[in-house]
Amino acid sequence: MRTLSLTLAAVLQVTFFAVLHEAKWTYNGPEGEHHWSKHYPFCGGVFQSPIDIQTDLLRFDPHLRPIELHNYNLSANEHLTLGNNGHSVQLSLPSRMFLSGLPHRYSAAQLHFHWGSANTPSGSEHLVNGKRFAAEMHIVHFNSDKYANLSMAVDKSDGLAVLGVLVEVGKFNPAFDQFLKFINGIKYRDQKVKVPGFNVRALLPLRLDEYYRYDGSLTTPPCYPSVLWTLFRSPIQISPKQFLSLASAVYSSHAQESNSVSLNANYRKPQLSDHRVVLVSFKEGRGLHGTRTVTSPLVRKQLIQQLLVGDLADLADEGLYQLLPSGPDMPLTADKKWKDHNNKQGPKTHHVNLKKQLLHPLKKSQKNNRNVGSLGLPEEALCFVSLERQVLHRAKQSHTEAQIVHALRDLVFPELNLRSYLGCKSELDLSTIRHIIRRRPTDEALELDDSLRRASARLKKRFPSAASKKGVPTTTYEGFSNAARPAKSQPQGYPHPWLLPMEWED
């Protein structure tokens, strides 16, 4: 009987999860992007895309090389599938097309578009210093060194690499006409047509050596933060007629529906930078003369190694400049919404226990890991579906579905921040530092924590405007409370020490 009960519970959990990820979503209205996180929790999480690529986020990386494309010139005898999935126009690509020069081999899967409307030709997802372009093309690749296909890679932290191409309205583009001339065959949702292969390279800018690079996410649900983004600096052009083919010739509704809904303005709004930086492969150009060069990977690795096993007293005395973000980049800590939400709820002790329950599945698997690049999560590459299932199950047991987004942020952010930092695509967040030293219950850890708290306070006074930017949920860096300070006799406790009760209950 007990076995039957457990089996039934497991079936119900999987069924609920499957239904959850078939939820309807749109860009506007009741199922619009402001409600995505209700059904797709990672859409409210960290390292989300797109972003506004502001000059102050840029760091020049002299080691970035031109993108290398392989087998992009397809034969006309090879047929591709052009489809309307209700959210975009999508073209299938053969996996023998691949990218090299990245940490892994990434094989092509598909390309698709985001655009504005006939009246407003402004629909790119990424912005550059506040400028939105007419449209944006994404060529999606998956890590074929480690995963068999796109569906297996999509929820892994190293699963995807996407080439982003900004699109302007200008002169006629013959490469785009290779598939746009078939667009009347996919006017309605779920319609598909076969198109002959062509040279996909011709869709890209001439210069593949100038681009922006950062760690981000899918820009549509389920929004997994699994994408290595490469956005080319130079936009390409299509004619006004070609743009109208996208903006006014297709519908997001099915052919049998009485009211046809135009498919346009299918772009997500820019997301928070979450302490990320944007690497650039170029240094010349307007507004780029003051762009800083990124700190070398070796220096970053040495710093993390110092936090893991080195003398923390030395860092507290002399090495704080390496830990604190340079310039006006302020540290991000626990999400203020989490604090506000708990203040509105019942007894504080209930939410302390609830937080433990939500984080419990990951606590069991965390060991005394001293390897650079891992914070001790159970898999080599973060599997976001696995994390989501575990946290979802805990939240449902406690009838607290509203806390799923916050719990996932707490679990995922330190790992992504550290990996991105080691890859030179993020500043090291102070909360991640505290996460790393949580396994070191020594006086040195206390000394470093106190020094960081004081230095962070000085940084906030020096750059007060950075902490008050509209829409940026920053909080001051608070040291361990007296009850939370590591001590040799103290158990390991919370896996995320910056969320201890003394800090997030107030």
Does 363 score more than 50 pLDDT?
A: no
pLDDT digit string, tens, across residues 298-337? 989 988 988 888 888 877 776 677 777 654 444 433 334 3
Q: Tell me, what's the pLDDT at 434?
A: 83
Q: Tell me, what's the pLDDT at 474?
A: 35
Q: Tell me, what's the pLDDT at 409?
A: 87
pLDDT digit string, tens, across residues 65-85? 999 999 999 999 999 999 999
First to last CA, the chain: 45
Does 494 score more than 80 pLDDT?
A: no
Q: Tell me, what's the pLDDT at 237?
A: 98
- Give 14-76 as a 3 state SS string: HHHHHHHCCCCCCCCCCCCHHHHHHHCHHHHCCCCCCCEECHHHEEECCCCCCCEEECCECCC
pLDDT averaged over the chain? 79
Q: Are 66 and 208 in contact (CB under 8 A)?
A: yes
pLDDT digit string, tens, across residues 249-304? 999 999 999 899 999 999 999 999 998 999 999 987 766 766 888 888 898 998 89
Lowest mean pLDDT among 242-251, 375-384, 450-459: 375-384
What is the CA 357 to chain-centroid distance, rounded?
25
Q: Tell me, what's the pLDDT at 284?
A: 77
Mean pLDDT computed over 82-98: 97
Query: Sorting pLDDT into bands at 50, 70 and 90, what band is 477?
Result: very low
Q: Are 398 and 354 in contact (CB under 8 A)?
A: yes
Lowest mean pLDDT among 103-117, 161-175, 338-352: 338-352
Q: Tell me, what's the pLDDT at 501?
A: 27
Most confidently predicted of 9-18, 195-204, 366-375: 195-204
Q: Tell me, what's the pLDDT at 313?
A: 80
Does 443 score more than 50 pLDDT?
A: yes
More confident: 360 or 445: 445
Q: Tell me, what's the pLDDT at 342?
A: 39
CA distance 474 to 91: 40
Query: Sorting pLDDT into bands at 50, 70 and 90, what band is 113?
Result: very high
Query: Sorting pLDDT into bands at 50, 70 and 90, what band is 441?
Result: low
Does 35 score more than 70 pLDDT?
A: yes
Does 150 score more than 70 pLDDT?
A: yes
Mean pLDDT computed over 58-65: 93
Q: Tell me, what's the pLDDT at 496?
A: 31
Picking from 42, 203, 175, 41, the residue whose alpha carbon sits closest to that of residue 108 is 203
Does 178 score more than 90 pLDDT?
A: yes
Q: Tell me, what's the pLDDT at 6?
A: 36
For tokens 């830990």, what's the residue? Answer: 323
**Torsion angle, alpha carbons of 36, 40, 43, 44, to 10:** 90
Residues in the chain: 506
Q: Tell me, what's the pLDDT at 2?
A: 46
Q: Which residues contact 106 (CB under 8 A, 6 or more apart)?
A: 98, 99, 141, 142, 143, 144, 160, 161
Does 14 score more than 50 pLDDT?
A: no
Say which of 39, 87, 341, 393 is annotated catalytic.
Answer: 87
- What pTM was estimated for this model as a whole? 0.81
Does 94 score more than 90 pLDDT?
A: yes
Query: Sorting pLDDT into bands at 50, 70 and 90, what band is 5?
Result: very low
Omega into 196 within 30° of 0, i.e. cis? Answer: no
Picking from 428, 444, 415, 434, the residue whose alpha carbon sits closest to that of residue 481 is 434
Mean pLDDT computed over 435-459: 79
**Coil, helix or strand at residue 109:** strand
Q: Tell me, what's the pLDDT at 447?
A: 82
Pairing of strands 68-70, 98-100: antiparallel
Mean pLDDT computed over 337-348: 40
Is 87 catalytic? The answer is yes
* Domains with residue ranges and CATH for the chain: 50-280 (3.10.200.10), 297-504 (no CATH)
Picking from 313, 216, 346, 198, the residue whose alpha carbon sits closest to that of residue 268 is 216
Q: Tell me, what's the pLDDT at 436?
A: 87
More confident: 176 or 460: 176
Does 378 score more than 70 pLDDT?
A: no
pLDDT digit string, tens, across residues 381-391? 789 998 888 88
Query: Nearest 5 degrees, angle CA 156-CA 159-CA 162?
Result: 135
Lowest mean pLDDT among 26-40, 145-159, 453-467: 453-467
